[in-house]
Structure 1
């Protein structure tokens, strides 16, 4: 029995890696690459040229910066989750319960012991830094370091859904050198490459007895990393001075995560250690936005983003001997984000911003997991920029994110192997507050 549980531990840890390596916006991407853009909910991501963060938003936009500048900042995310209407159950194979061999007949034992507090996402700061430099009248160079994906959930030790996942931490860091070319005063193009590093740690629990007690659980965990290359291209067109259109494409990135897998028994004894690989593709995205100058002081913006999440169809993990450990359907759907925003120049020193975004999730009700219990989002934002001297601007922003209430329903007959089966269901309601600050210095 122990050997079967050990093999199962490896499979469960590997499957968890696939689920949590998608980080958080439109489900799992991060939008935190610009605080000036955060103020209007990134409605003008590809068309509104504010500062050096346009290196990420649209590389072509560097051509409309009048001088060299550097921008750096961060957004602090505070996430709150409520978990209600929790139901769980456990059962044991009646043959095993009678001291014999499994016979496939389940005998109900009762709910999973433990709690479902919901306080599982710690506060996190997401930093970024960008630099843009004119090389000639037509050519600009830019460089950026930012986090396009990332997530962390850390449930309490006796979380009732711990047999489906109780800890996830994934970080993706990208470095992007970029060039733009200004064809004329109306049209510019840009392109860049991205070097991306991903790493993460994931945990899940396995019971060792029919008591289903957290004190006796096996801690199945995985940590791994990889690096890979991608690219991005963009175009900006100004048919008239008051109207700016922007289009940006960011490529998919293919990873092969290689990691260490361990199953740790109570007391710290390692009962299983192995290697495994997981192929993972983060999706390509397309963003279109328009910025319209309504008056000398007022700008309005609209943006639409599309992510090809349908690439994530299944979790396929291979063991150290090339054997298939798990192959589970996920059936993600392509997802859209829509945003509107406004920017008002109050006076030469102050600009005020606001925006609203609707962010659709790629997950579906059937496959949604306790690791990623998210749904469609609405994001309301306010922001301001202060320029005390022509060379320096300080931007601040606040965003409130509220998700549609969603339900999780998971059950597994094979995860407990000879012991039996377990299920967990609950209603989740998530909200988040984002506090951003950045500074831009021009020289």
Structure 2
């Protein structure tokens, strides 16, 4: 009995770590700050400053406003995930599945308040990180499937200072709230190897949550009213979440840096804009799970992960059709965070973003934005294994993850 209990506790620690790593490696980062940005694949978003949502990418851009600005909206994210051609230890081929993904909604709100021609401050709430997949209870390789659901909310306070007509600086605090649900259970293969009944919970963490504090910095350089550049940097802290069973899961979040440019072509109604964003996924080296008294849960698990830094390259165009309508479109190439280690539970690959959107001016002080993106992934070969005592299993498959993102937003100046 003691041997079985030790096995279950050890496999719990390994599987929680596996579950969380999969969420991290699958591009845990979300671009959900604004519908405006979504409609141009977030090209130029650290410097365009067409509404208050720019403060989420670059606090220095608040210096570009001379009136109080409010933006609020939401983004819906629908993932279409396919796992096919899978082979599982002791079973052979297992059924394809295409219902792993789902739809989630990420709201956002941003407020910028200029104090004078030098200073401005702002507050906002949005999300930088999140992912969700849910496999059927009947999925044969249940120790690799199950449910992975990670959500976060970023509450920000920032200020900006205009040094002169060309140069502005900004800085802010990010208070991050995170919540995670991870569920995995034993398969028939594990039952035959250990005697633990099929369907026994290996991981049953429901809404583990916690808080962390980060910061952001930025600068804007204006050549003139039609040409400017921006740079923003977000420091993301190590994050600890606690469940109701008294366990702590600690994982690092990636830092993010972005360079953007905006150029309105003289004597035309067209502007071009672009961004290069770096996401520091290589900082994700290990996850430790501990009891609240500091003791490791199960056996010590300290594995080095082979994540790589991610990059976003985006370019877009804006056409100012008339005083009522602004049209925009963009393209992004988004590189995978996974390298040698891959996963079936939240598939990842290099992706392409095809985006379009518009702004409609309700009156001189308010407008509404709509943005749409079709995110195209690619087929990726995945191999995973868990080796613990007599219950070593492995799974290989081909995965693909596409997504549809839609955003709606209302903005007003005062």
Same fold? TM cut 0.5: yes
Cα distance, 1:302 vs structure 2: 1.3
Q: CA RMSD in A?
A: 2.2
3-state secondary structure, aligned to 1:53: helix
- Is the contact made by 1:299 and 1:343 (CA closer than 8 Å) also made in structure 2? yes
Q: Give me the whole-angstrom Cα distance separating, in 2, the residues matched to 1:283 and 1:429.
A: 24
Aligned ranges 1:403-418 → 2 under 5 Å = 403-414=377-388, 417-418=389-390
Residue 203 of structure 1: aligned partner: 183
Task: Work out which of the residue numbers 331, 334, 338 in structure 2 matches 1:356.
Answer: 331
Deviations for 1:299-328, whole angstroms, at most 9, x for unmatched residues? 101110011111112233335562353222
Deviation at 1:164, TM superposition (A): 1.9
Q: What whole-Å deviation, never above 9, does each CA across 1:85-134 have from its counterpart, x for those lacking one?
A: 111122xxxxxxxxxxxxxxxxxxx338x644221121111110111111
Q: Which residue of 2 aligns with 1:4?
A: 6
**Does the Cα contact within 8 Å between 2:344 and 2:399 map onto a contact in 1?**
no
Residue number among 211, 231, 236 corresponding to 1:227 in the alignment: 211
2:117 aligned residue: 137
Aligned to 1:96: none
Seen in structure 2, the aligned counterparts of structure 1 residues 236 and 140 have a Cα distance that, compared at 3 Å, is same
CA shift, 1:353, in A, is 0.2
Please name the residue that 1:71 is paired with.
Answer: 71
Pair 1:241 & 2:229 matched: no
Aligned counterparts of 1:381 and 1:245: Cα–Cα separation in 2: 22
Does 2:227 correspond to 1:254? Answer: no
Whether contact under 8 Å (1:316, 1:328) holds in the other structure is no
More strand by share: 1
SS of 2:32's equivalent?
coil
C-alpha separation between the residues in 1 aligned to 2:313 and 2:385? 34
Aligned to 2:341: 367
Per-residue CA distance 1:260-298 (angstroms, 9 max, x = gap): 45xxxxxxxxxxxxx433321111111001001113411
TM-score, length basis structure 1: 0.86
| Correspondence for 2:97 | 117
The 2-side partners of 1:379 and 1:232 are apart by: 26
Q: Distance in 1 between matches of 2:62 and 2:47?
A: 11
Structure 1 unmatched runs, 5+: 91-109, 262-274
C-alpha distance after superposition, 1:13-70 (max 9, x if no partner) = 431453256386xx22000101111111111111111101011021111111131121
**Which aligned pairs between 1:14-413 and structure 2 lie closer than 5 A?**
14-16=16-18, 18-19=20-21, 22=24, 27-90=27-90, 110-111=91-92, 115-207=95-187, 209-210=191-192, 216-219=198-201, 220-223=203-206, 224-260=208-244, 275-295=246-266, 296-319=268-291, 322-323=295-296, 324-364=299-339, 366-413=340-387
Q: Which has the larger radius of gyration?
A: 1
Query: Displacement of 1:137 after TM fit?
Result: 1.9
Q: In 2, are the aligned partners of 1:19 and 1:371 still within 8 Å (CA)?
A: no
| Cross-structure match for 1:97 | none
C-alpha spacing 1:363/1:396, structure 2 compared with 1 (3 Å): same
Q: How many angstroms does 1:74 deviate by?
A: 0.9
| TM value normalised by structure 2 | 0.92
Residue pair 1:234, 1:246 contacting (<8 A) in 2 also: yes
Separation (CA, whole Å) in 2 of partners of 1:230 and 1:317? 22
Deviations 1:126-181 (A, max 9, x none): 11011111112211111100011011111111113321231011111110011111
Is contact 1:20–1:170 with CA below 8 Å preserved after alignment? no
Is residue 363–residue 375 contact of structure 1 (8 Å, CA) maintained in 2? yes
- Report Cα offsets for 1:355-390 as digits up to 9, x if no partner: 0000111211x3112232111110010010000211
How many residues align? The count is 404
